[in-house]
A and B are shown apart, each in its own frame.
Chain A
Amino acid sequence: KQEVTQIPAALSVPEGENLVLNCSFTDSAIYNLQWFRQDPGKGLTSLLLIQSSQREQTSGRLNASLDKSSGRSTLYIAASQPGDSATYLCAVGPMSSARQLTFGSGTQLTVLP
């Protein structure tokens, strides 16, 4: 059974800092990996999706990397802003045809002005 872990559970940084969020998974036979953002009381917004054959994806100030062999992904946020404060979720899509996602518990990020 796939297990996804996100450490730390919470992170507080001053505005302007670069930061890294971590995601680890136990089964390297994955189809893809998605990073989501969730604001309090809201739904999930997809940030980046990395296919199993890719090593990284970039969107603006966000960069996600994937190392399947070690079962790890990182989300790098450059020049953090208070508007980046949210919970960030990592989810792994399996090779099975149903592709149901297995989620980590998330990292709650607070960027202080």
Chain B
Amino acid sequence: DAGITQSPRHKVTETGTPVTLRCHQTENHRYMYWYRQDPGHGLRLIHYSYGVKDTDKGEVSDGYSVSRSKTEDFLLTLESATSSQTSVYFCAAGEPTGRYEQYFGPGTRLTVT
């Protein structure tokens, strides 16, 4: 699993509150990703990072921001949580060269009430 951990693993929050999810990796992978998984949609990319302080948007980035101040940590922030952001969030990491296998964390289940 390339030493990827996510915290918290479960969270329930109220609409309108800010939420930050953390992803931590131990393998020094340059690229990191945040995906969300919803029934009927598979996993969809929210944001990704290609280095410290270098980030870009994915397919479903509205309402989310990210930050990466260290190689090992990638934070996902919901500025003002909405019920449509109830989902399971997965972090992934990898190097985009060679075989390029992407490794995934265990996921964070977020419920917005």
Binding site for B on A (CB under 8 A): 4, 31-32, 34, 36, 42-44, 46, 49, 51, 89, 91, 93, 97-101, 103-106
Q: Which residues of B contact A89 (CB under 8 A)?
A: 42-43
Q: Which of B48, B101, B105 contacts A43 (CB 8 A)?
A: B105
Q: Which of A91, A99, A100, A106 contacts B58 (CB 8 A)?
A: A100
* B106:A98 contact, CB within 8 angstroms: no
Q: Which of A43, A46, A103, A105 contacts B107 (CB 8 A)?
A: A43
- Cα A36 to Cα B90 with chains together (Å): 14
Given contacts A89-B42, A100-B33, contact A34 B96 (CB under 8 A): no
Mostly helix, strand, loop or mixed at chain A's interface?
strand
**Number of interface residues, chain B, beta carbon within 8 A:** 27
What is the CB-to-nearest-CB distance from A96 to chain B, in angstroms, rounded to a whole number? 9
Binding site for A on B (CB under 8 A): 1, 31, 33, 35, 40-45, 48, 50, 56, 58, 90, 92, 94, 96, 99-107
* B100:A42 contact, CB within 8 angstroms: no
* A98:B101 contact, CB within 8 angstroms: no
Q: Which of A32, A93, A104 contacts B42 (CB 8 A)?
A: A104
Q: Which of B45, B50, B58, B90 contacts A44 (CB 8 A)?
A: B90
Q: Which residues of A contact B50 (CB under 8 A)?
A: 97-98
* B99:A105 contact, CB within 8 angstroms: no
* A34:B31 contact, CB within 8 angstroms: no
